Structure 1
């Protein structure tokens, strides 16, 4: 009896692809990071401007990727685009960085956020198991984060249809959570004077630091200091809007990918951008930007000092009372769990594509009985669990987002290269506003990366080191004949 040959099944339509874009973007960030941004920039005007810039950059990149997706509608997405434009070394560096920090780092960060919100119901999860000095602790939250990654990996090995169903259900749940904050938040918040107070001095920026002794230092920001702080703290909103490109990884399982991938990129990023802006307006209508680290109520703590940075839960408690914290925490648990489902599903397809091109472990290029690259998923799972143990949420956020920005710029630069090198190639969709909009994205993102290197040198420097480490790894693999 001949052996059954397995191949990727094109079973995902436009709704599924759009759900993956939006679902992968909406995870934990929108419910958490505005708190850190309030401490970093301390201005309602600047906070909203940074979210608007984030939305513009995200949609610009997504519209640009549409051209590449139409040209190369195959599994692996961005990995394939980079290889066609720049060659195998840079495509390997991208895949290496996705594996070591981008995809797995985001999976780990979202899993940690899932555990953080679960701790609202089970405070025992915050219990310290052991620690190494004051800089690193291991708690039950990290164990829960790892368990969630293992569970989602197992589910996604059972077939793309199973993963698709979970993704759609959980995306709808997280939209309910966000629309609840937006509708009820604005309804209640606009009856108070909180919003007007937050916008009274909307461009007066300041940085708030909590000292080791519990006191607070507030530093007024002006001139280049404001731009530097804005460039550094925008990493938070960019993280919240990241992972939109994951749909390109599963191009081999999308129906009519030349049309559906560009459409899903546009629709998904547009929906999320609008929701994020409205959610932040709702936060500003319900809670003061500043506050007290020792505040007795969520209003007294404000956005900047929301407990555990859970600004989404704090906002919900304003219009729902104490039960709001638990309701929102539950919905955010659903949101982060669903987000990671999409990230796990799509990441495995990238490593599968790398393996098929002899740029990853050979076994990762095998499909199981459900036509899923199960071994690639389990390798991804293992490393994401390691990152859950090794890093804090903020560190994982910076590593992953900074590295993502570098390769987003590189990929969009590939549009210019391919337009010149392959002018007659089939392009079912052409990048919106070419060459000005893609060029503007590269310029603005470069400025953000420079600011990050200046104001968060350690974490961004480590991110660069991880990318650079891929160079000797590439030549080691090539020497062994794997590449």
Structure 2
């Protein structure tokens, strides 16, 4: 037996990497969050505009990351970029936040969404079916389902890259095909009278209640836009997961940048088209106040009749299953890289006999499962997106810093529209973060607190290791 340290195998081609990007982005959000957005903006024009703005910001960030991925084509992605652009502490704070909130929270949220829609086909899995009442906490069948999904996908990914890659590519292609079919059938079922009625308010920004439309005044406009974008940004997030598996991608200096662009563009087009379908078949009130925010279900019933519920439930099970596989596969690589750097538990920096970070996969599984018991989909979403934006801002700012600090590093790909588009993203994301701090303090301040908690953890637990 060789005593040489194990290393990752470069197994992912351009298609596989693109499927990681698109598959990690498309979960359940596109079928749910348009309800909350519509309540906040109150018009068809702004509903579509929110998704377009989100798509532009996501594409801008993805194109900027292409430069970083070409410079540092190593496992760990964003953690590595922040460490190289700033310092070890900044990289650690991302990794700490990534493990405690961002990735585990996303895995938990998507797992809960999987369980929620599974209950349409299997009512026994409903969140109303309480299996254990411990007083302070109730454990439902939906929560147990979410945990079992996470455990199953974690186990599959410990078997090797081939298994995880196969699931990711197959499930992502299946859900893209199903979404395109939904869009085509939706446009064929479009009702011109509904479309015209929905566009009567044009681009007027107003709060929608079940009985009235209330105009915004002053800075509350900013809060409405920022609050609306929480859902769309979360639905478009996780595109950067492909950078975490850079050590397993063939020709990473080229394929990571290409996959980021192709994946985010594809998903942005699908998301905008899906919302145009909603507007063409559902009245604005029907979108805003769909039962339990399940706009996708309401649209499918309008398109396919009573069987639409089961069609969309099946699509969502496929979608969230594939999405969580991508999150689980890529997320453990950050823990692995941190452990190799000496700023996380040492044992997590080992590959198992299948050349994947098995221990990192299992600790991620345990923490995500605990989060499944701690909150509902919307609460997990609010916690995640604020912290995500903080580190996107820092990472894209890192491009400017590295251009000055290390101008001689090879850059096979340069950020598109530099410096204007990356700067535009930074400004827009800062404005959204500030607005969320003011208008959604219940979730954003605790998220900021978790990030800052990483500072004493870094110094007192791992110290300034060189």
Per the shorter chain, which TM-score range? Answer: over 0.9
Is 2:211 the counterpart of 1:226?
A: no
The alpha carbon displacement at 1:351 in A equals 0.8
The alpha carbon displacement at 1:187 in A equals 1.1
User: What is the DSSP-based 3-state SS (H/G/I as helix, E as strand, rest coil) of the residue aligned with 2:207?
Assistant: strand
Tell me, yes or no, if the aligned pair for 1:360 and 1:482 is still in contact at 8 Å. Answer: no
CA distance in 1, matches of 2:137, 2:224: 27
Pick from 253, 264, 270: which aligns with 2:248? 253
Identify the residue that residue 202 of structure 1 maps to in structure 2. 202
Tell me, yes or no, if the aligned pair for 1:75 and 1:349 is still in contact at 8 Å. Answer: yes
Q: CA 1:222 to 1:185, structure 2 compared with 1: closer, same or farther past 3 Å?
A: farther
Alignment of 1:214-293 (within 5 A): 219-290=214-285
Q: CA 1:136 to 1:40, structure 2 compared with 1: closer, same or farther past 3 Å?
A: farther
> Any unmatched runs of 5+ in structure 1?
211-215, 291-301
Tell me, yes or no, if the aligned pair for 2:42 and 2:213 is still in contact at 8 Å. Answer: no
> Any unmatched runs of 5+ in structure 2?
none
RMSD across aligned positions (CA)? 1.7
Tell me, yes or no, if the aligned pair for 1:177 and 1:332 is still in contact at 8 Å. Answer: no
Is 2:395 the counterpart of 1:411?
A: yes
Identify the residue that residue 166 of structure 2 maps to in structure 1. 165
User: What is the DSSP-based 3-state SS (H/G/I as helix, E as strand, rest coil) of the residue aligned with 1:303?
Assistant: helix
1:136-183 Cα shifts (integer Å, max 9, x gaps): 643110110000000000000011111111001110121123112211
Q: CA 1:128 to 1:218, structure 2 compared with 1: closer, same or farther past 3 Å?
A: farther
Identify the residue that residue 297 of structure 1 maps to in structure 2. none
Identify the residue that residue 80 of structure 1 maps to in structure 2. 80
Aligned length: 464
Identify the residue that residue 456 of structure 2 maps to in structure 1. 472
Is 2:291 the counterpart of 1:307?
A: yes
The alpha carbon displacement at 1:123 in A equals 2.3
The alpha carbon displacement at 1:209 in A equals 5.4
CA distance in 2, matches of 1:3, 1:130: 48
Identify the residue that residue 299 of structure 1 maps to in structure 2. none
The alpha carbon displacement at 1:225 in A equals 2.5
CA distance in 2, matches of 1:176, 1:457: 39
The alpha carbon displacement at 1:205 in A equals 3.1
Is 2:324 the counterpart of 1:340?
A: yes
Identify the residue that residue 445 of structure 2 maps to in structure 1. 461
Q: CA 1:399 to 1:266, structure 2 compared with 1: closer, same or farther past 3 Å?
A: same
Is 2:346 the counterpart of 1:351?
A: no
CA distance in 1, matches of 2:86, 2:252: 23
The alpha carbon displacement at 1:218 in A equals 5.2
User: What is the DSSP-based 3-state SS (H/G/I as helix, E as strand, rest coil) of the residue aligned with 1:193?
Assistant: helix
Pick from 373, 397, 402: which aligns with 2:386? 402
Tell me, yes or no, if the aligned pair for 2:342 and 2:462 is still in contact at 8 Å. Answer: no
CA distance in 1, matches of 2:102, 2:376: 15
CA distance in 2, matches of 1:319, 1:232: 30
